[in-house]
């Protein structure tokens, strides 16, 4: 994955997700979070458990938690 440059007006949030251990895990989490309206970029890193999300506006944490749950992992919270 490549680093994304923030565009004016975008919000970058880093979340901690437990249970990711490989590239497949990263893809599952990224795929679910990217379906949330307003999300323009998702980068998950299994080795750190961090998921960086760039969106047009701050996201509802419940929506992010539901997406992470759907992928089979647990949202610990914002990093």
pLDDT tens-digit map of 40-64? 999 999 999 999 999 999 999 999 9
| pTM check: above 0.85 | yes
Q: Is residue 64 part of a domain?
A: yes
The residue range of the domain holding 46 is 11-78
So what's the pLDDT on residue 51?
A: 98
CB neighbour burial string for 5-19, b if at least 16 within 10 angstroms, e if fewer? eeeeeeeeeebebee
**Is the pLDDT confidence value at 69 over 90?**
yes
The three-state secondary structure class of 4 is: coil
Which CATH number goes with the domain that contains 62?
A: 3.30.70.100
Q: Is residue 48 part of a domain?
A: yes
**Domain count of the chain?**
1
């Amino acid at each position: 994955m490549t680093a994304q440059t923030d565009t004016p007006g975008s919000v970058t949030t880093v979340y901690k997700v437990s249970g990711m251990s490989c590239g497949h895990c990263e893809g599952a989490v990224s795929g679910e979070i990217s379906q949330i309206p307003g999300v323009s970029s998702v980068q998950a890193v299994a080795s750190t458990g961090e998921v960086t999300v760039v969106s047009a506006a701050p996201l509802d944490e419940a929506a992010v938690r539901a997406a992470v749950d759907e992928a089979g992992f647990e949202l610990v919270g914002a990093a």
